């Protein structure tokens, strides 16, 4: 083998070894940013709160972790997010590291300012270290700083409480669902559908929310709670869909996993509780005289989780009546949500995207003025619901008491 061939082989085999640690970062030199809170100050600057984790106070080692607080929050200001982050280095002794950021909280004031809000999204999407799968939400009746500084008694890290709570309410209540920065940007730049974001409140005594004493109690004086959906139009917050009306949005978006449906039976309120176990939503369009008509079809399967009245659950006719009542309840929730979105002239359901796919030529004519057209759109809702089981027992003890 020629000498120059041997040299090339040696160099080629050495390259992977030589480049393995070129960008290493020591853990002791990093400050892990778990959450960001972004407010707008009177000076029109971004007021950014960085929720940093205190690893020694979180880890459950042999000593059970440290005695201090699990988080530390540093604040900074800047005309841009980049400037605010760089200014924070005056206070933080370590390099801010965003690869583990799980939540971004934006105040209502910032979200309503289109330019400020969009500038934020650009900074997140452009930073190679920042994950755009991060959850983004809007603080309601509270500052973003108040949200990220609140301590929680069940989860050591407040950010964990928020992400788990959103997943929990998505799975069990059906009023909120996980929304990432990617989802938000796709909704803003796309056509035929406007995005929504989860709202978050600080409930209770706000001045007690960030005190260490909160962690020593079995109950807390202040806690965080998901509440409502923020409607984003043309890149800014325009209004809210309250929790009681937001469940219909989740049905239409095919995000419903489970919830609770309470029914009246023979004049008795709250007599029956139905819990969906599977649901599927299909949105389609037909055209009448050249105009689109939206058809929503929901298929739902559930079980009876409560029967607080005398009722014969062994009778197929009774089950049929319960299914009909459930269908009417779901249909009403969807119609309320559609009516609310029409009031706002904001297609948060993606009906425009359905029309686009079905008739691209017509969509070209409607696209520019779609949200106004959406306000008068004919929308039909059809629900098919089935009761698959009645729980551990069949007929309730109410039936035996009335004999």
Tens digit of each residue's pLDDT (9 = 90 or more) over 53-94: 887 766 654 444 456 788 889 999 999 999 999 999 888 888
- Last residue of some domain: 241, 258, 282? 241
Is residue 351 within 8 A of residue 374, CB to CB? The reply is: yes
pLDDT at 207: 80
Per the domain annotation, does 127 fall within a domain? yes
Claim to verify: residue 186 and residue 263 sit in the same structural domain: no
Q: Looking at the structure, do residues 227 and 254 belong to the same domain, yes or no?
A: no
Range of the domain at 277: 246-401
**In degrees, to the nearest 5, what angle opens at C-alpha 70 toward C-alphas 65 and 71?**
150
* Range in 121-125, 130-134, 248-252, 397-401 with the lowest mean pLDDT: 397-401
Same domain, 113 and 62: yes
- Domain termination residue (choose one: 223, 241, 259): 241
* 147 lies in the same domain as 288: no
The pLDDT of residue 161 is: 87
390 and 368 assigned to the same domain: yes
Tell me: do 206 and 271 sit in the same domain: no
Domain boundary among 224, 241, 258: 241
pTM of the model: 0.86
Q: Between these two residues, 230 and 53, which has the higher pLDDT value? A: 230
Percent residues over pLDDT 70 in the chain: 88
Does residue 231 sit in the same domain as residue 255? Answer: no
% of the chain residues with pLDDT over 90: 60
User: Is residue 140's pLDDT more than 90?
Assistant: yes
Q: Would 388 be classed as within a structural domain?
A: yes
Q: What is the pLDDT of residue 3?
A: 65
Torsion sign, CA atoms 285, 286, 291, 297: negative
Average pLDDT over residues 178-182: 94
pLDDT tier at 134, thresholds 50, 70, 90: very high
Shared domain check, 282 and 234: no
Q: How many domains does the chain have?
A: 2
N-terminal to C-terminal alpha carbon distance within the chain: 101
Q: Are residues 78 and 134 in the same domain?
A: yes
CATH number at residue 396: 3.30.300.210
């Amino acid at each position: 083998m020629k000498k120059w061939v041997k040299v090339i082989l040696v160099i080629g085999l050495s390259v992977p070894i030589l480049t393995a640690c070129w960008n290493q970062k020591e853990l002791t030199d990093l400050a892990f940013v778990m959450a960001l809170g972004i407010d707008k100050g009177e000076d029109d600057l971004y007021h950014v709160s960085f929720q940093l984790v205190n690893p020694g106070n979180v880890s459950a080692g042999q000593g059970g972790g440290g005695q201090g607080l699990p988080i530390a929050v540093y604040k900074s200001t800047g005309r841009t997010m980049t400037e605010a982050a760089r200014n924070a280095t005056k206070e933080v002794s370590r390099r801010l590291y965003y690869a583990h950021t799980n939540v971004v909280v934006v105040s209502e004031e910032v979200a309503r300012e289109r330019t400020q809000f969009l500038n934020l999204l650009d900074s997140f999407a452009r930073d190679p270290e920042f994950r755009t799968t991060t959850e983004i939400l809007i603080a309601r009746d509270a500052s973003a700083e108040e949200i990220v500084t609140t301590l929680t008694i069940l989860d050591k890290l407040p950010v964990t409480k928020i992400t788990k709570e959103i997943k929990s309410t998505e799975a069990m209540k059906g009023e909120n669902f996980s929304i990432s920065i990617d989802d938000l940007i796709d909704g803003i730049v796309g056509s035929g559908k406007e995005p929504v974001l989860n709202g978050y409140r600080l409930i209770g005594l706000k001045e007690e929310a960030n005190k260490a004493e909160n962690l020593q109690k079995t109950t807390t004086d202040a806690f965080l709670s998901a509440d409502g959906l923020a409607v984003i139009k043309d890149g800014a917050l325009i209004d809210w869909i309250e929790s009681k009306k937001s469940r219909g949005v989740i049905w239409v978006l095919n995000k419903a996993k489970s919830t609770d449906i309470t029914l009246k039976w023979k004049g008795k309120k709250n007599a029956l509780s139905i819990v969906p176990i599977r649901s599927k939503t299909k949105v389609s369009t037909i055209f009448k005289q050249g105009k689109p008509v939206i058809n929503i079809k929901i298929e739902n399967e559930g079980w009876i989780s409560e029967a607080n009245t005398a009722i014969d659950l062994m009778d197929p006719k009774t089950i049929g009546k319960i299914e009909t009542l459930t269908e009417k309840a779901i249909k009403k929730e969807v119609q309320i949500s559609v009516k609310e979105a029409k009031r706002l002239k904001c297609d948060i359901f993606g009906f425009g995207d359905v029309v686009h796919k079905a008739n691209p030529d017509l969509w070209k004519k409607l696209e520019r003025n779609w949200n106004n057209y959406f306000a008068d759109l004919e929308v039909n809702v059809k629900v098919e619901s089935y009761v698959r089981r009645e729980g551990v027992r069949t007929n309730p003890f109410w039936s035996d008491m009335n004999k």
